[in-house]
With several copies, the nearest count.
Chain A
């Protein structure tokens, strides 16, 4: 079994309204010293495939679904469990 972790972030320089809103909410709650908040999505996909096939499939998934390259960067990790 493979556990695939995909983290999809906004590219550097792309506005992050959700991060900004959270920063603001934290400030309204009187938290101090907050410089920045960023938000990303994390997907865990569990695959019943051999490692090599899995890796290939994951590349495809990312391209077809998880990421829009205009605004997103991503990290991916595939591990056998």
Chain B
């Protein structure tokens, strides 16, 4: 690489005369993560300008073109399926850092889910904490107060043998404990309740864990801030943490495959500092209340470069930046490092000159550092200065518009087959399922997160009698003191069904999100999609991506529920293995009156038990088949008409206060749902499966067919319930045991304490 120093720590790179080989070498040695095609495009551009670029110019462009920033592989697919689902409530959709949806006349809620997979695989504690920090900033920069967090997590099995680990790969238990500690210490310290999530274990995630984090905030509509600078003369104020070498090339790291060497990519792992973030949240909200923020964006992937570029480009103005004004953690940083650094806890505000004093005052009160680093200008150019030297002069369009690919894809053919196992010992199967790590109690995790802070959590993640609680389907937040209206929040994913059939897996995921929201009495309102996939340069992975997006799109469009924000994480590949397609949904529902919320624990002797929805012999991806080692590629099939129908019916019955508890049927099927409801209410039920029709009892009990719920209906209200909801009565609440028969044949009879014991031991066996 030929380079010459033209200003302190700024080099002009000779690319005009570079051969393909040299272009590759430049890409390699500068760590740009661009393809040769892209390098050539870059070269052509500078040939047209008739000059060589500076190193910082090349970095700025590479950053803008990274998969992470430009969505170059995913955009065309997202546009086709995910974007543009019409909705009356959605206010800002897929434009800024988070989606904004109407809550009531005066307020809107803001939310998004995002991935932080690779950094967490390398450094679980810091990686996960940073993921949480990043998603909080996305909410904050819309001017919203963050009020809830969620954390869908995917690991290898906790009992995975150490000997089988690939070099450089850490054990699932180590990763899980680190990730959870990172989320706990960050979320708790900034005072935002973590109220829902997923903890899923499977061999498919041994080499490549998934750490997703979502955040929801609330904002008065007139206080929404856009990530746009639409006027010249506004000052850029950089506040919060200082800029350092941590996190340089994080976005490129996210778009690479994990290898043995990934351990060395420490620089790409940023570290969050909640004790800067917490006052930063206060300060930003105070400044927003004072009405002085004219545009704002957080510094996440891509650092200053993508923030200033995108904000100004979106608003049709140019930018002038003085990098020597940026407060640094360490001296001797080169300008390009400052420009692309992804150091945490930083926000960029666009402020009128006259308000600079005001923002200074606020920062002083909260002990936060800030500096003015530039301003918006007329025109469409990015100009960067370094101690007076002019080191970047580029059209913003070229830097931020990025590139797009229609990557080739191949959709896999599925051979349908299903083994039919011998009839099992029902008691043993149920207890084994309850104590399996994907079904058993997640209390060990949930209680380490402060899910009560802010006092808004009116339906908790753990539900039932105090210290006997079971898993709930969704948590409910009451965002405003003077309104009974609430937001239900849940997350859903099902990688095993997706692995069989990405399309059906996506439908199933939407179905599960809807089920969870409806189970607590909330009307599904909007989604954020976190799309975790393998290497998009492989046709079959791109095929999975297409199919997943098609499924997500079909389901949501049919139901009229928009995706308002989301995130794509590709390159979840390690040691030649790709993760299964794992679209994760963060779903939000509205409940008009939180006093009508329904929890999952059985309430009262004598109440009737109903099953809503159709049970079918489709065992593909089920926990039961996994337990007994039987094979099936019959993935559960979602019927969207049925989903919509049952949803409306249940919500109607809940509104009439007919239902005293409700739980969706998911992992482990009907038997597990009943057991969980008994555990939380510390009360038994007697069930007869015969009304479910003619089918093997193990399928009735353990099938994971979609669109199903168990409802407990108030004694005496059965008729009214049956008039509203299409359902079958299968039994009643009574005694202390879970008793199940199929007609005359008793299948099992287990005391709630024994159920609870098995269920609670699932993680305890590994964690103590």
Interface residues of A (CB under 8 A from B): 11, 13-15, 17, 20-21, 24-25, 28, 64-65, 68-71
* Given A15-B271, A64-B171, 18 more pairs with CB closer than 8 A: A13-B266, A15-B244, A17-B272, A17-B273, A17-B274, A17-B276, A20-B273, A21-B768, A25-B768, A28-B768, A65-B174, A68-B178, A69-B263, A70-B123, A70-B266, A71-B123, A71-B126, A71-B269
Interface string of B259-298 (1 = CB under 8 A from A): 0000100100101111110000000000000000000000
- Contacting pair B123 A24 (CB below 8 A): no
Residue from the set A13, A17, A71 with the largest chain B CB neighbour count within 10 Å: A17
- Contacting pair B269 A13 (CB below 8 A): no
Residue from the set A15, A28, A69, A71 with the largest chain B CB neighbour count within 10 Å: A15
- Contacting pair A71 B768 (CB below 8 A): no
Nearest-Cβ distance from residue B564 to partner chain A, whole angstroms: 32
CB-defined contacts of B269 to chain A, threshold 8 Å: 70-71
Nearest-Cβ distance from residue A16 to partner chain B, whole angstroms: 8
Q: Which residue of B lies closest to A27 (CB)?
A: B768
Partner of A64, one of B162, B275, B768: B162
CB-defined contacts of A11 to chain B, threshold 8 Å: 266
For the complex, is B550 an interface residue (Cβ under 8 Å from A)? no
For window 92-131 of chain B, which residues contact chain A by CB distance below 8 Å?
122-126
Interface string of B115-151 (1 = CB under 8 A from A): 0000000111110000000000000000000000000
Tell me, in angstroms, the Cα distance from A25 to B768 when the chains sit together: 7
CB-defined contacts of B124 to chain A, threshold 8 Å: 68
Nearest-Cβ distance from residue B271 to partner chain A, whole angstroms: 4
For the complex, is B246 an interface residue (Cβ under 8 Å from A)? yes
- Contacting pair A28 B171 (CB below 8 A): no
Could you give 21 example pairs across A and B, Cβ below 8 Å? A13-B245, A13-B266, A14-B271, A15-B271, A15-B273, A17-B276, A20-B273, A24-B768, A25-B767, A28-B767, A28-B768, A64-B174, A65-B174, A68-B124, A68-B170, A69-B263, A70-B122, A70-B266, A70-B269, A71-B126, A71-B269
Interface residues of B (CB under 8 A from A): 122-126, 162, 170-171, 174, 178, 244-246, 263, 266, 269, 271-276, 329, 766-768
Q: Which residue of B lies closest to A20 (CB)?
A: B273
Tell me, in angstroms, the Cα distance from A25 to B245 when the chains sit together: 24
CB-defined contacts of B245 to chain A, threshold 8 Å: 13
CB-defined contacts of B170 to chain A, threshold 8 Å: 68
Partner of A15, one of B122, B178, B246, B768: B246
Nearest-Cβ distance from residue B166 to partner chain A, whole angstroms: 15
CB-defined contacts of A14 to chain B, threshold 8 Å: 246, 266, 271
Given contacts A15-B246, A70-B269, A71-B123, contact A21 B263 (CB under 8 A): no
Partner of A68, one of B123, B275, B767: B123
Nearest-Cβ distance from residue A30 to partner chain B, whole angstroms: 10
Tell me, in angstroms, the Cα distance from A52 to B28 when the chains sit together: 45
Tell me, in angstroms, the Cα distance from A26 to B126 when the chains sit together: 23
Tell me, in angstroms, the Cα distance from A41 to B440 when the chains sit together: 33
CB-defined contacts of B174 to chain A, threshold 8 Å: 64-65
Q: Which residue of A lies closest to B344 (CB)?
A: A15
Tell me, in angstroms, the Cα distance from A4 to B473 when the chains sit together: 46
CB-defined contacts of B246 to chain A, threshold 8 Å: 14-15
Q: Which residue of B lies closest to A21 (CB)?
A: B275
Nearest-Cβ distance from residue B416 to partner chain A, whole angstroms: 42
Tell me, in angstroms, the Cα distance from A15 to B273 when the chains sit together: 9
Residue from the set A14, A20, A64, A70 with the largest chain B CB neighbour count within 10 Å: A70
CB-defined contacts of A13 to chain B, threshold 8 Å: 245, 266
Given contacts A15-B244, A21-B768, A28-B766, contact A70 B273 (CB under 8 A): no
Tell me, in angstroms, the Cα distance from A28 to B266 when the chains sit together: 29
Q: Which residue of A lies closest to B127 (CB)?
A: A70
Instruction: Give 3 closest A-B pairs by Cβ, nearest first.
Output: A17-B273, A15-B271, A24-B768
Given contacts A15-B244, A64-B171, A64-B174, contact A70 B275 (CB under 8 A): no
Nearest-Cβ distance from residue B262 to partner chain A, whole angstroms: 9
Partner of A17, one of B122, B263, B266, B271: B271
Nearest-Cβ distance from residue A38 to partner chain B, whole angstroms: 14
Nearest-Cβ distance from residue A66 to partner chain B, whole angstroms: 10
Tell me, in angstroms, the Cα distance from A20 to B123 when the chains sit together: 20
- Contacting pair A71 B273 (CB below 8 A): no
Q: Which residue of A lies closest to B170 (CB)?
A: A68
Nearest-Cβ distance from residue A51 to partner chain B, whole angstroms: 24
Nearest-Cβ distance from residue B746 to partner chain A, whole angstroms: 38
Partner of B266, one of A25, A64, A65, A71: A71
CB-defined contacts of B768 to chain A, threshold 8 Å: 21, 24-25, 28
Tell me, in angstroms, the Cα distance from A24 to B329 when the chains sit together: 14
Q: Which residue of B lies closest to A65 (CB)?
A: B174
Nearest-Cβ distance from residue B502 to partner chain A, whole angstroms: 33
CB-defined contacts of A15 to chain B, threshold 8 Å: 244, 246, 271, 273, 329
Nearest-Cβ distance from residue A33 to partner chain B, whole angstroms: 18
Q: Which residue of A lies closest to B119 (CB)?
A: A70
Tell me, in angstroms, the Cα distance from A71 to B263 when the chains sit together: 9
Given contacts A14-B271, A24-B768, A28-B766, contact A70 B263 (CB under 8 A): yes
Nearest-Cβ distance from residue A11 to partner chain B, whole angstroms: 8
Tell me, in angstroms, the Cα distance from A21 to B274 when the chains sit together: 10
- Contacting pair B244 A17 (CB below 8 A): no
CB-defined contacts of B266 to chain A, threshold 8 Å: 11, 13-14, 70-71
Tell me, in angstroms, the Cα distance from A69 to B266 when the chains sit together: 10
CB-defined contacts of B766 to chain A, threshold 8 Å: 28
Q: Which residue of B lies closest to A13 (CB)?
A: B245
Nearest-Cβ distance from residue A2 to partner chain B, whole angstroms: 23
Tell me, in angstroms, the Cα distance from A69 to B264 when the chains sit together: 9
CB-defined contacts of A21 to chain B, threshold 8 Å: 275, 768
Q: Which residue of A lies closest to B276 (CB)?
A: A17
Nearest-Cβ distance from residue A10 to partner chain B, whole angstroms: 9
Q: Which residue of B lies closest to A16 (CB)?
A: B271
Q: Which residue of B lies closest to A23 (CB)?
A: B768
